[in-house]
Structure formats: C-alpha cells, structure tokens
Structure 1
Amino acid sequence: MGRYRPPRKRGSKYITPEGEAALREEVHQLWKVERPQVTSAVHEAAKNGDRSENGDYIYGKRRLREIDSRVRFLNKRLDELEVVDRPPADTSKVRFGAWVTLEDEQGEEKRWRIVGPDEFNLREYKLSMDSPMARALLGKAIDDEVVVASPSGEQVYYVTGIDYST
C-alpha cells in the first residue's frame, strides 16, 4: 500500500512554445529512446532465472514504472496546456512571457522571464507565473515598485525594463 499524497494544486495552463517543445522532446526521449533500452535490459535480466534476487530485473521494472508514469503525466499535461505564442496587446505591462528587468535597492539589476509552471528554471532566470515574485510582477509597468515577501523579509524591486522578444 502506497503513501497517501493529497492532490496537488494544478499549475497555470499557459506555456511558451519553447516550453511545449521541451516537454514534447522529453516525452519522445522517454518513450522512444530510454524505454526500449530499459525494456531490453529487463528482458535480458529476466533470462537469468530467479527474479526475486535479480537487481537488474527489479530496478529495471521500477524504472519502467517511473517512465510510464512520467509519460502519462506529460501527455495529460500537454493536452490541457495553452501555448502562448504572441505578445499581449498592451506590451507596456508585465504579462506572461515577458522578460522583466528589475533593480533592487542596492542598484543591482536582474532579468527574469515569466513562464508557465512546467518550464520554470531559476538557473536560466525563468520564473513560474505561479510564484510569489511573478505574481507580484504581473500587471506592473516600467518604474513601478514591486514588494515581494520572502523568508528573509520584504524585498523591494523597481521595474526598469519589459521586453517580449524571445
């Protein structure tokens, strides 16, 4: 019997074209490349006899379940996602897909992109539109002050640039 996990709150349904392409590539990689390799390894391991003590067989079957679960999730998610492939009518405000340049109180600038929850990556400066920082930014214009509550206290930023180029 598995451990109970309460249902997660669904993320926003928006995604950029690049994010959709990355998810489709992940499905392809898992289903067409990795799964056949693991299936072959499990098949070979099954030939070795006693499966109860065969690590290759046990871990291969576990990996197959992980792959199947991830592919099932991605296919359902891709069906419900809405690709946003053009900038909004009013490009003077921060909306989904925008690159936002922020300046903090010390004068340091950072540039973030507002993306969907399926494609956020802090190393690439991509914020999920469901994050507290992105929610504080949405609807702001250049020179607006943005106050974000963080574990270390409130942080104040100023919007210095909005760009919708990719």
Structure 2
Amino acid sequence: MKSAKQRFAGRYRPPGPKRSPLITPEGAAALKNELDDLWRNKRPVITQAVQEAAALGDRSENAEYIYGKKMLREMDSRILYLQRRLDHIKVVEGVPADLKKVYFGAWVTLVDDDDNERRYRIVGADELDPSSGYISIDSPLALALIGKRLDDRVELSNLKKGYDIIAINYADAEPT
C-alpha cells in the first residue's frame, strides 16, 4: 500500500517563477481600475444575487446559490491577488537616458532570418497581450533584448532563431 506522500506526489505543483515587479503607468492604472470595478461594482451585484438565492430556501440544491458562491470565491481570489500585486509593483515612468538601447517599456522592431518584421513592446507580466505586441519582461525574447542596441543581433538558442533589431522607440510608449 502506498503512503499518503506517495499517493499525492503527482499533485504537487511547485510555485511558479517569481515575476518581475515592473509595470508601465498604463498597466498600473488598468490593475487599479480592475480592482475598483470588482470591489465597487461587480462584487455587490453577486453578493446581492447570493443573498436572494439563499432566501429561497434549501441551499444544497439551489443552483443559483451554489454558482453565486463559486463566483464570489473566484472574485475574492482575484481581488486578493490584485491587492497584493499592487503592493509590490514598481511603476516605471519616463524614458531611459540612452534611447539607442532596449529597456523596459521600449517598442522594438525586429527582423528574423526570413525577413519577417515584428514589433514588440516590453511590459510587465500583468500587461501581457501578444495580439497587441506586448511581451512580458520575463519572456526569453525580452530578456535577450534588454540592453541590446540598434542593429544588434539577438539569438534564441531554444528556438534556433535569430533577430536583428532595426528600430527602438520610446515615444509616448505607444506604436507610431
């Protein structure tokens, strides 16, 4: 017979890698707005729905009550995450002194070996949006780009790909 440690060994998940606390001013504002919206607007609506469902009687078979409590737990979890994250983030404002180097917040235009052009902005982990070109500061590509200069070559050995930096832009922190 297996011990409890052996039976549950497959369920253990080590904590994920620690994320960078850096964030853009826009990202910090978005997190604050989300927290405010959850706390002031959405949570009271769900709390009211749970109270109304509880008033209907038997809670063990009341789908609205069970679903509402589940939604409330998920929302409270997100609120707690946002509160903790906002306590630890460091907002990066302004532009660096050397505009010819890639730093946090930069828009970087790259050309790969097949002459495909791509443009990325290096942002905090909470702002990640690949469809908009926002990549996390913790991503392998961003880590390889940080500190590089215009016309430098970046090699990603795990992807066996190379990129040439053809433009670096900090203007308005938005693409032009």
Alignment TM-score, normalising by the size of structure 1: 0.93
| Equivalent residue, structure 1, for 2:44 | 36
Q: Which amino acid aligns with 1:71?
A: I
Task: Give the 3-state SS of the residue equivalent to 2:125 in structure 1.
Answer: coil
Aligned-CA RMSD value: 1.2
Task: Give the 3-state SS of the residue equivalent to 2:70 in structure 1.
Answer: helix
Moved more, 3-12 or 131-140: 3-12
| Equivalent residue, structure 2, for 1:60 | 68
| Equivalent residue, structure 1, for 2:92 | 84
| Equivalent residue, structure 1, for 2:143 | 135
For residues 33-72 of structure 1, the C-alpha deviation after alignment (integer angstroms, 9 at most, x for no partner) is 1101101110110011000010110110111111111111
Q: Which runs of 4+ in 1 moved over 4 A?
A: none
1:25 paired with 2:33, answer yes
1:158 paired with 2:164, answer yes
**Aligned-pair CA distance for 1:5:** 4.0
For residues 57-113 of structure 1, the C-alpha deviation after alignment (integer angstroms, 9 at most, x for no partner) is 011011111111111111111011110011111111100000000011122211100
Task: Give the 3-state SS of the residue equivalent to 1:161 in structure 2.
Answer: strand
Cα distance in 2 between the residues matched to 1:63 and 1:148: 41
Cα distance in 1 between the residues matched to 2:76 and 2:91: 24
Cα distance in 2 between the residues matched to 1:5 and 1:75: 24
| Equivalent residue, structure 1, for 2:83 | 75
Task: Give the 3-state SS of the residue equivalent to 1:156 in structure 2.
Answer: strand
Q: Which has the larger radius of gyration?
A: 2
Moved more, 12-21 or 100-109: 100-109
**Aligned-pair CA distance for 1:4:** 5.0
Structure with higher helix content? 2
1:146 paired with 2:160, answer no
**Aligned-pair CA distance for 1:149:** 3.4
Question: Structure 2 regions of 5+ residues with no counterpart?
Answer: 1-10
Percent of aligned positions that are identical: 52
Question: Structure 1 regions of 5+ residues with no counterpart?
Answer: none
Alignment TM-score, normalising by the size of structure 2: 0.88
Cα distance in 1 between the residues matched to 2:163 and 2:12: 40
Cα distance in 1 between the residues matched to 2:72 and 2:14: 24
